[in-house]
Amino acid sequence: MVYDWFNRQSETAPIQSSEDSTDASAQESQEETPANAEDDPLEWARQAYARLKAQKEQADAIAVEPVPESSPETVSDSQSESAPEPEPAELEPVEAKPAPVAGLSLLEQAAAQRQERQQQLEQEPEVVSQPIADATVEADREQEEPSLGEFDDTFTWSAEVLAAQGRDAGQVTLEEIDWLGRLRQGLEKTRQGFVTGLLQNLGDDPLTPEVLDDLESLLLRADAGVKATDQVLDALRQRMNEEVVDPSEGIQFLKEQLRDLLEAPIKSSGVDLLAPQRGQLNVWLMVGVNGVGKTTTLGKLANLAVRSGYSAMIAAADTFRAAAVQQVQVWGDRSDVPVVANPSANADPAAVVFDAIGAARSKGTDLVLVDTAGRLQTKHNLMEELNKIRRVVDRLAPDATVESLLVLDASQGQNGLKQAMAFARAAGLTGVVITKLDGTARGGVALAVASEAGLPIRFIGAGEGIRDLRPFNSFEFVEALLAGR
């Protein structure tokens, strides 16, 4: 079953699939006690867990059946057949050592395997898109798959968030549970400041003007920006003037305000979920200042596209930084996504995009992801270059759906936002990707993006791993921001 992350739905209708004979046990429990999330969220979570566990056991049983073609023994056998040569320059350094013997650590085995592969490759004609480090790529692939953890607080919280959005316990996917856990974890630092501060000030008594003053400084400290903070506080004050507001009502109202703020630009864009349009060419440009996470975001999006059932291609249009093409190539290898590049120095980025669109057309590719430079000799040059790329896309693919996504590093807070807005005109921005939410207490910058830049947030990144970027959902974001309240 393919889970289409962009549209947030399973490709095969999940209600039908739960009627599958293969899922009988989970289905029985669902039929016996249809969970009502409002009445009993914990029971709902239990049912969802039981179902996912049954699915996992079934998948494990299937996985055990076929005899694996390359068992670990086979790998070490083949290694011991060939004596390793001195280490090739670009790969990770491995000390010159005698031929690998049985009992090597996994890392050593992987290194030996890479080395062997490198030797083979050196004898073969050069193939641009060939993965260069199979063992690493394999290890990465394993990481890509979410696994079902314990029935713990993270699971029940994630299940509750899904249930609160009206989801059926029989529809929940491991993909979503896994992501919500990561999102909550990623927002830990922002939440600590926010929730702890809020809890300290909120007693059991109705909200007071003093509590609102504290909330104001909490929002500003989380980098929500003056505009968003004022808007939220005005709404709360007005509500308090109308009636007595007890703490839990106050929190619910606050959550609503935050959601509305984040949703406003999404609503006005007319597109609730940004997904590649099937049956036509989609071109998504990643733009932003240097180091914010453009290339990483592009790599994660390529993976998300493939695992959601779309075909993708990467255009390596950052030709300014020497290592940029290799970096993009590694991401392409991780998801088997072809990369169109021109590795010669000072290649024209617009020409790379030109080639990529041509290749995508002839292959019928759904989505072309374009990496762009974050820094050139001057800012003026950078804007010119983005302009040129944009013109090539518009001229060559007038029928394509083009998205220009501003990548923003959350840890740079509002300064980053101001700096980044310079891109708005040159690149015709249509949306924002917020990265590095993990490791910063400035997660509130999402609110500033929505209120000050008026741009819809489309994806958020909360970690360096390949699964740490997913489409933005304001409900889930606010719940994760205020988890515990």
Contacts with ligand GTP, residue ranges (CB under 6 A): 288, 290-296, 318, 321, 324, 374, 435-436, 438-439, 461-464, 468
| Neighbouring residues of 74: CB distance < 8 A, sequence distance ≥ 6 | none
| Closest by CA position to 34, among listed 156, 170, 173 | 170
Shortest spacing between CB 288 and ligand GTP, in angstroms? 6
Is 295 a binder of Mg ion (CB under 5 A)? yes
Shortest spacing between CB 403 and ligand GTP, in angstroms? 17
Which stretch in 57-65, 119-127, 259-267, 293-301 sits in contact with Mg ion by CB under 5 A?
Answer: 293-301
The token pair that represents 169 in the structure block = 């316990």
Shortest spacing between CB 220 and Mg ion, in angstroms? 31
How far apart CA 436 and CA 190 sit, in angstroms, is 12
DSSP strand pairing (312-317 vs 367-372): parallel
Shortest spacing between CB 295 and ligand GTP, in angstroms? 3
Shortest spacing between CB 136 and Mg ion, in angstroms? 20
Shortest spacing between CB 302 and ligand GTP, in angstroms? 13
**Of Mg ion, ligand GTP, none, which one sits near residue 302, judging by CB under 5 to 8 A according to partner kind?**
none
DSSP strand pairing (469-471 vs 457-461): antiparallel
How far apart CA 7 and CA 330 sit, in angstroms, is 27
Which stretch in 43-51, 235-243, 291-299, 386-394 sits in contact with Mg ion by CB under 5 A?
Answer: 291-299
DSSP SS3 for 462? coil
Shortest spacing between CB 274 and Mg ion, in angstroms? 21
Spell out, one character per residue from 306 to 345, where the chain touches Mg ion: x when CB under 5 A holds, - when not. ----------------------------------------
The token pair that represents 432 in the structure block = 């924002």
Rounded to the nearest angstrom, the gap between the alpha carbon of residue 99 and the centroid of all alpha carbons in its chain is 41
**Helices (DSSP H) in 91-152: which residue ranges?**
106-123, 134-144
**Of ligand GTP, Mg ion, none, which one sits near residue 464, judging by CB under 5 to 8 A according to partner kind?**
ligand GTP
**Of Mg ion, ligand GTP, none, which one sits near residue 87, judging by CB under 5 to 8 A according to partner kind?**
none
Is 297 a binder of Mg ion (CB under 5 A)? no
Which stretch in 83-91, 290-298, 302-310, 336-344 sits in contact with Mg ion by CB under 5 A?
Answer: 290-298
Spell out, one character per residue from 235 to 274, where the chain touches Mg ion: x when CB under 5 A holds, - when not. ----------------------------------------
Contact 47, 30 (CB under 8 A): yes
Shortest spacing between CB 291 and ligand GTP, in angstroms? 5
Shortest spacing between CB 333 and Mg ion, in angstroms? 16
The sign of the dihedral angle between the CA atoms of 335, 339, 343, 347 is: negative
How far apart CA 157 and CA 151 sit, in angstroms, is 10
- By beta-carbon proximity to ligand GTP, the closer residue of 149 and 291 is 291
The token pair that represents 411 in the structure block = 């840890």
Is 435 a binder of Mg ion (CB under 5 A)? no
**Of ligand GTP, Mg ion, none, which one sits near residue 412, judging by CB under 5 to 8 A according to partner kind?**
none
- By beta-carbon proximity to ligand GTP, the closer residue of 88 and 439 is 439
DSSP SS3 for 372? strand
Residue nearest to ligand GTP (CB): 374
Shortest spacing between CB 461 and ligand GTP, in angstroms? 3
- By beta-carbon proximity to ligand GTP, the closer residue of 134 and 464 is 464
Q: What DSSP string describes 5-68?
A: TTTTEESS-HHHHTTSGGGHHHHHHHHHS---TTT-HHHHHHHHHHHHHHHHHHHHHHHHSSPP
Identify the helix (H) or strand (E) that includes residue 83. Answer: none
Which stretch in 1-9, 56-64, 93-101, 292-300 sits in contact with Mg ion by CB under 5 A?
Answer: 292-300
How far apart CA 138 and CA 136 sit, in angstroms, is 5
Contact 107, 97 (CB under 8 A): no
| Closest by CA position to 375, among listed 332, 423, 336 | 423
DSSP single-letter state for residue 450: I
**Of Mg ion, ligand GTP, none, which one sits near residue 187, judging by CB under 5 to 8 A according to partner kind?**
none
Shortest spacing between CB 299 and ligand GTP, in angstroms? 8
**Of ligand GTP, Mg ion, none, which one sits near residue 136, judging by CB under 5 to 8 A according to partner kind?**
none
| Neighbouring residues of 365: CB distance < 8 A, sequence distance ≥ 6 | 281, 311, 312, 313, 359
The token pair that represents 60 in the structure block = 């494990």
**Of Mg ion, ligand GTP, none, which one sits near residue 431, judging by CB under 5 to 8 A according to partner kind?**
none
* Contacts to Mg ion by CB under 5 A: 294-295
